[in-house]
Every structure is written in structure tokens, then in C-alpha cells.
A and B are shown apart, each in its own frame.
Chain A
Amino acid sequence: MKDLIIRRLIESLMVVFLVTIMVFFAMRFLPGDPVLVYVSQNEVNSATPEQIEKIRREFGLDKPTVVQYINWLGDICRGNLGRSVIHRTSVNEEIGRALPKTVYLGSAAFILSIILGIPLGIVAAIRRGKWIDALSTLVANLGVTAPIFWVGIILILVFGYYLRWLPIQGWVPPTEDLGKSLLHILMPVICLTVYPMASVARQTRSAMLEVTRQDYIRTAWAKGLNERQVIMKHAIRNAMIPVITLIGMNIRQIFGGAVLIETVFSIYGMGKLSVDALFSSDYAIVQGVILVVAVVVVLSSLIVDLSYGWIDPRIRYD
């Protein structure tokens, strides 16, 4: 087990290293020179070429690209993601402000998608062909097809404008007023939950149908166990491996959804930060955001991989 953890950690580090190469060199193709954008935004139109060159030197942008990459990598290892040329702030600060919001929204959606998706899939599988199967399958199929930004707009229309139950925009930190904060995140969280919940329900249903055909389930029935025991003790645990894999992948999906949902609800999280940075050619922020998101996704898939052995003791890593 220890060997596996070490091997997977090294692999994960390699993946993150590849991400740093990809993101850094890709960002150099971003149209627009961030220094010129900064100069024009700050109305330093009269900036002389010498002044522009000074700014370029200040940010290390005068050095060859490979040297810039090595410097950036060195900074990352020291926990410094660089400085935004446009806002002149530290990328750590920007991400430090945005990440907690996305993590707050994302973890609520992540938990909801599991506690709603798995039971929905189980019920559909054990009542196969009944109305409840048809209903939950329809919900799951619509859930994976609905564009989440559109779901957000429909929710705003119904619950924000028509019924006036929920605030349509804005952000209240949970530390300030938890009740108000939950009201504010309710609609964005529902949007972020739809797709992962639907995919978990679909996967759970098909895994359960596969498992319930197995001999050991017939044996469990034959020895007189009741439905609850057969499902809870014998079927679910065996059906969970593909579901856990999907749940791991949903973390990436939720971060992706945040790009759209934070735009719809004007929440300044990682998604909105990255879109705004892309539009303003602020590549220090874009590469910082992508790197942090990649690290979170890689770590979560590492945890998922290691959890297989705990879920299914037949899986041995050595």
C-alpha cells in the first residue's frame, strides 16, 4: 500500500509538472501584450518605450521564455504563483479570495450530487420498469443534457423574479450570516449539482442492474434475506466501484461548471476570475487558476484511487 501511495504521488507530481509546461507555454500565445494592456488601462498612454521596458523588466518578461518558465516554476515551488500584470496584485491573493467561494459552492454541489444521485439510481434499478424508474431515468437524462447556464437563468426567472423567494445575485460569506449565505448559494448550487447528480444516478442504476444479475444476489435472496439486507449489504457495495470513479471525475466537472455558473450569478470565484483574466490577457492569473484547479483535481483522483481498496477489499494493490 505504501509503495502504491508513493508511486501514485510521483505520477501525480509528473502530471502537475506537465500541466505547468502546457499552461505556461500556451499562455505565451495569448493575443495582446499584458504590459501594453496594463499601460492602456492605467491611462499611461504617454508611457515612453523606456517606461514600458521598465515594466517588462519588473515582471521578468524581458527574459527568454524558457528562463521565465524556470523562474515561474521556482516561484511555484516556494508557493508563489506570481503577480498579475494587469491588476498589479499577487496571484496568490486573487486566488485566495476566489478559491474559498468556488470550494464552498463546489463542495455543497458535490455532497448533494452524491446524496441525491445514488439513492435515485438505486431506486430506479430496484424498481426497474416501474413509474419511479421511468421518472428518475428521465430526470437523470434531462440532467445530463440541460445547459447549466440555462438552468441558472430559468431558476433566476422563476425563483428570483416571479416568486421572489431567492436573491438573484451577490455573495454573503457564511461567516457573516450563514442563513443569508445559504439562500444566496442555493440557486448556483442547484445548477452545479444537476449534471453530477444525473450522471451519478445513471451510473448507479446501470451498476446496480449489473450487480443484481449476479449469483451472490440470487443466493442472498434464496437464503431468505429481506430486500433491505440484499440491497444494502450485498448489492450496493459491489456496485459502487464505477460510481466512485465517476464521483472522482465529477470534481473536475463541478470546477468546469463554476466557470459558467459564477458568470451567471456574478460570483467572483475561480471560474469568473479565469474568464475575466482571459478576456483581459492576464496570463499570470489564468496560469495560476489552471494550475490550482489541476492540483485539486489530481489530488482528488489520487484519493479516489486509494479508496477503491477500502470500498472493495478484493482489490489488492500489491
Chain B
Amino acid sequence: MAAGNGMTSEKFEEAPRHISDLRRFIRVFMGRKVVIFGMVVIGLLILAVVFAPWLAPYNPNAPSLKNTLAKPGSAHLLGTDSLGRDTLSRIIYGSRPALVVGLVAVSIAGFIGMTLGLLAGFYSGAINSIIMRSMDALMSVPMILLAVTIAALLGGGLKNVVIALGIASIPPYARLMCGQVLTVKQNDYITASQAGGASNLRIMLKHIFPNCFPPLIVLLTMRIGMAILSEASLSFLGIGIKPPDAAWGSMVSEGYQNLLRAPLLSIAPGVSIMLVVFAFNMVGDGLRDALDPKLRGTL
């Protein structure tokens, strides 16, 4: 018996040290330079959104007709547009609709999509069919066409763009959540809580939802970049923030009118969109690697 105990303790000594989930998460997540880069860009974006009035050298909407299409220089680092407005200031202010639309549209879509997915996965049968076929119907129309249509129906403007993108982006969350719920539902602890007399609502919210959430965090992060890209696309088409307020997509479109004389007017906001979307995608990738249990042991 004593010998047996000795062997067990030896085995314990040989076993690799247990790494806590949090430490593994930090090591994997922070271990890639590109993720750090993404975090820095997102940090700068938040700074620009919060401190825009202090960071922007000029009023972004104040025209200066004596100073139209000025080349980049010490007075205007990125030049001015066809109405003489400072491009850098407009890019700084343009970060506001980008982030607001990104976060709010993703929250709306995430909330509705996850709720529908939870219901569809939990109550199979008719409820599942109705919800999932409706999601298929929404998914059969290209997201941007759907968003343009909904935004046009609602009448444009920031609020309506947020709603349009929120509705158009519901299906991926519903699908992922439904798939997750169908898997989690099979676990013994769900049967146990049903046997213990827990209500359906309690089982869904207390037992199923928290166990389905990690992959959804990754999707939510990834979709912020997508929502920012879609907001830019809508404002490029002229549906979105009303002029004279700055939005990166409409700045690209306005710059297109003077492409030869002042190419930077289109290039600079486009680079801003790309950087921010790239940052959110990289952070999403990092989160996926850090949270994916399948990668445990390889990363």
C-alpha cells in the first residue's frame, strides 16, 4: 500500500505542471505580435473616438473655400477636401460612426441572433424550423444588399444604418448558437437539472447559454470588423451618416470625385478602414486560438 502511494506521488511529480486556463489564454493571446498590433490599433481607435475634439486640429465640418484641395503640408497633414475641410480631422471624427455602428450593430445582431438560436436549438420541431428557415431566407440575400434595402426603407441616417446592419447580420449568430445548443443539450447536467425541476428558462439561461458562449465571443469580435466594413460600404453608396458629418466610406466616395488632383482624399480614409478592420480580425483570430479547446496542447 505504502509502495503504491509512493508510486502515485512519483507520477504526480513527473506530470507536467498544470497551466491554468487564464494563463494559457494570456500566453496564446498575447504571444502573437499581430494580435498586439491589433490591440494597439483598437486602443488608438478608442482614443480617437473619445478625444476627437482635442485630437483633431480643425473643425471637421468647417469649410474653407480659400483652401480647397490643399496638398499635404505642415498646416494640413493630409491636405484638405474640395470644400477646404481638413482631411485628418475628418478621419479622426469619422472613427466615431465606424466604432459606434460596429459595436451597436454587432450587439443588436448578437442579442437577437443568440436568442433566436437558443430558442431554435432548445425547442426543436416547428419552432426550430420556422426560425432556421427564416434565417436561411435572410442569408439567401447578400448581406450588403439586404442592409442597403433595410437602410433605404428606414430612411438612412446613423440610427437606421445601425438597425439595418443589426438585422442583416442576425443569421450567423442564430446558426452558431443553434448548433452549440444542440450539442450542449445532450450533456448529463442538462438532464439532471431537468430532473431537478428547473424551468426551461432557467436551464437555457443558467446552464446552456454560458456553455455555448466562448465560440460566440470569437464570432462577435470578428463581426465588429465586418460591421465597420459594411457601414463604410453603405456610406460609400450614400446611405448612412448625413453630410456634412464625416464617415470614412463617404470620404472615399467624395475623394473619388477628385481622384487625380488629390488622390489622398480617397486613399487615407480607405487605409483607416482597412487598419481598423484588420485589427478587429486579428484580435478575433487571437481570441479563437486562445479559447479553442481543440488547440490545447498545440498552442
Contacts and interface: CB of A to CB of B under 8 A. Distances in A.
Contact of B137 (A19, A141, A271): A19
Nearest to B298: A213
A259 B142 CA distance: 9
Contact of B142 (A16, A29, A149, A256): A256
B133 A18 contact: yes
A15 interface: yes
Contacts of A18: 133-134, 136-137
Contact of A150 (B137, B154, B225, B273): B273
Contact of B252 (A141, A153, A161): A153
Nearest to A253: B142
Interface stretch (A41-49, A115-123, A233-241, A286-294): A286-294
Contacts, number: 132
B115 interface: no
A263 interface: yes
Given A15-B136, A253-B142, A298-B140, A145 B229 contact: yes
A14 interface: yes
B145 A290 contact: yes
Nearest to B279: A145
B259 A274 contact: no
Contacts of A95: none
Interface in B116-144: 133-134, 136-144
Interface string A218-240: 00000000000000000000000
B283 to A, nearest CB: 12
A28 to B, nearest CB: 9
Interface in A174-220: none
B145 A255 contact: yes
A64 interface: no
Given A147-B229, A149-B252, A255-B142, A278 B148 contact: yes
B153 A26 contact: yes
For the complex, would chain B's binding face be called helix, strand, loop or mixed by DSSP majority?
Answer: helix
A303 interface: no
Given A147-B273, A153-B256, A260 B237 contact: yes
Contacts of A264: 256
B155 interface: yes
Interface in B199-236: 225, 229, 232-233, 236
A30 interface: yes
B30 interface: no
A142 interface: yes
Given A260-B236, A294-B140, A153 B259 contact: yes
A160 to B, nearest CB: 9
A29 B133 CA distance: 23
B44 interface: no
A259 B274 contact: no
A154 B274 CA distance: 13
Contacts of A4: none
Interface residues of B, number: 43
B281 interface: yes
B140 A147 contact: no
B93 interface: no
Interface in B219-264: 225, 229, 232-233, 236-238, 249, 252-253, 255-256, 259-260, 263
A31 interface: yes
A213 to B, nearest CB: 8
A18 B252 CA distance: 36
Interface in A130-158: 141-142, 144-147, 149-150, 153-154, 156-157
Nearest to A294: B140
Nearest to B285: A141
B266 interface: yes
A26 B150 contact: yes
A70 interface: no
A22 interface: yes
A149 B237 CA distance: 10
A146 to B, nearest CB: 5
A129 to B, nearest CB: 13
B73 to A, nearest CB: 21
B35 interface: no
Interface string A254-274: 011101100110000001001
Contacts of A256: 142-145
A278 B148 CA distance: 8
Given A142-B278, A161-B260, A274-B148, A147 B141 contact: no
B270 A153 contact: yes
Interface string B99-121: 00000000000000000000000
Given A30-B152, A153-B259, A141 B145 contact: no
A243 B176 CA distance: 18
A252 interface: yes
Interface of A: 11, 14-16, 18-19, 22-23, 26-27, 29-31, 141-142, 144-147, 149-150, 153-154, 156-157, 161, 252-253, 255-257, 259-260, 263-264, 271, 274-275, 278-279, 286, 289-290, 293-294, 297-298, 301
7 contacts: A27-B153, A29-B153, A147-B233, A256-B145, A259-B142, A260-B233, A301-B140
